[in-house]
């Protein structure tokens, strides 16, 4: 395990009415103690999961694989500044790490194709061929099983479930459990998937409250929502 704590320096925030500094959970949270190699951030859209993950990545010096989603025409000057107002505590600095963004994965897969043209032998590390030659979900799962995912280090992953079927999400969790059981890897994941949130032994932080706090799987709003639906799918939408 590498990362042991996250401190939000909210008394130094430059503004309080512009994203991401307008998020209540960021304003009211002081310190998060990390005690697991698998850490999950959950919360509704706009709660700040991806923003926090991005800030941690920038603080660590990780570039998002596939590039940033920010477009110049819609540039928020504060959007990438949260990294300047957090402090990370480490038990030991990771020698390797990356930041995975689901929405920019296509760019990464296409860049990999260019690399494979010059070094075809690398195909063995990515399932024997181009990630773009597979379906979106298959390419995601192939990547998570790949050589790059096997190196000891710190992995920041934003909404991996976006292209994974429920069965593939289960396999993704099994990959996490195998990797953390056998070597020195740590995963910080922003997710809305009940399957991923149910990962055994994972530490879950909810951003749905007034401040970020650790909760159990069954306390998450995602679990409660899916439970209500499964209990009464016919009447669920009429509530």
Q: So what's the pLDDT on residue 43?
A: 96
The residue ranking higher by pLDDT, 148 or 62, is: 62
Q: So what's the pLDDT on residue 103?
A: 64
Q: What is the per-residue pLDDT across 220-237, written as a single tens digit (0 to 9) for each? A: 999 999 999 999 999 999
Residue 174, classed as helix, strand or coil, is helix
Q: What is the per-residue pLDDT across 81-140, written as a single tens digit (0 to 9) for each? A: 999 999 999 999 888 888 887 665 555 554 555 545 544 555 555 555 554 445 555 777
Return the CATH number of the domain spanning residue range 3-119+152-236.
3.40.50
The residue ranking higher by pLDDT, 236 or 151, is: 236
Q: What is the per-residue pLDDT across 34-57, written as a single tens digit (0 to 9) for each? A: 999 999 999 999 999 999 999 999
Q: What is the residue-averaged pLDDT of the chain?
A: 84
Reply yes or no on whether the pLDDT at 159 is more than 80: yes
Listed in sequence order, the residues at least 6 apart from 168 whose beta carbon sits closer than 8 Å to its beta carbon are: 137, 140, 141
Q: So what's the pLDDT on residue 129?
A: 53
Q: Which long-range contacts (CB under 8 A, 24 or more apart) does 12-20 make?
A: 12/85, 13/85, 14/78, 14/81, 14/85, 15/78, 18/76, 18/78, 19/51, 19/76, 19/78, 19/79, 20/48, 20/51, 20/55, 20/78, 20/79, 20/82
Q: So what's the pLDDT on residue 228?
A: 96
The ranges assigned to domains in the chain are 3-119+152-236
Q: What is the mean pLDDT of residues 1-26?
A: 96
State what percent of residues in the chain have pLDDT above 70. Answer: 78
């Amino acid at each position: 395990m590498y990362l042991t704590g996250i401190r939000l320096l909210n008394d130094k925030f430059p503004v309080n009415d512009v994203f991401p500094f307008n998020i209540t959970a960021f304003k009211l949270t002081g310190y998060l103690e990390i005690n697991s190699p698998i850490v999950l951030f959950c919360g509704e859209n706009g709660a700040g999961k991806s923003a926090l993950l991005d800030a941690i990545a920038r603080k660590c010096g990780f570039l998002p694989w596939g590039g940033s989603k920010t477009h110049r025409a819609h540039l928020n000057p504060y959007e990438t500044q949260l990294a300047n107002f957090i402090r990370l505590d480490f038990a030991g600095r990771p020698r390797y790490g990356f930041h995975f963004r689901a929405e920019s994965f296509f760019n990464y897969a296409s860049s990999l194709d260019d690399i494979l043209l010059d070094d075809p032998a690398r195909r063995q590390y990515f399932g024997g061929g181009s990630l773009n030659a597979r379906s979106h979900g298959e390419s995601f799962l192939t990547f998570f099983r790949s050589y790059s995912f096997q190196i000891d280090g710190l992995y920041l992953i934003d909404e991996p479930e976006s292209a994974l079927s429920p069965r593939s999400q289960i396999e993704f969790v099994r990959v996490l459990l195998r990797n953390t059981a056998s070597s020195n890897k740590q995963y910080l994941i922003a997710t809305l998937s009940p399957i991923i949130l149910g990962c055994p032994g994972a530490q879950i932080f909810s951003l749905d409250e007034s401040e970020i706090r650790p909760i159990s799987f069954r306390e998450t709003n995602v679990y409660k929502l899916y439970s209500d639906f499964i209990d009464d799918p016919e009447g669920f939408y009429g509530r």
